[in-house]
Amino acid sequence: METPPWRDRLRAEDELLEQLETQAEAARRRRAAALKDGAEELGSVYALAKLLGLSWTAVANAIKKYTTE
């Protein structure tokens, strides 16, 4: 079996990277929505961050960046 030309391989890999980025963006938005729900349930971003072992600024920034349009 012959290896496809480099241009075809490059194009295929670029398409795959684009698909992966789209999926990662969707996952970041779903994660942020879950973080927001968790903060509401626990009463604060700080309480959620403490429970998860994350910094409260990281949690707050994720919620802010990915749950607002």
**Confidence tier at 1 by pLDDT (50, 70, 90):** confident
pLDDT digit string (tens) for 11-32?
999 999 999 999 999 999 999 9
Contacts (Cβ under 8 Å, ≥6 apart) of 66: 28, 29, 31, 32, 33
pLDDT digit string (tens) for 50-67?
999 999 999 999 999 999
Query: What's the confidence (pLDDT) of residue 64?
Result: 96
Give, in order, the Cα–Cα distances in Å from 34 to each of 7, 26, 51: 41, 13, 14
Contacts (Cβ under 8 Å, ≥6 apart) of 56: 45, 46, 49, 50
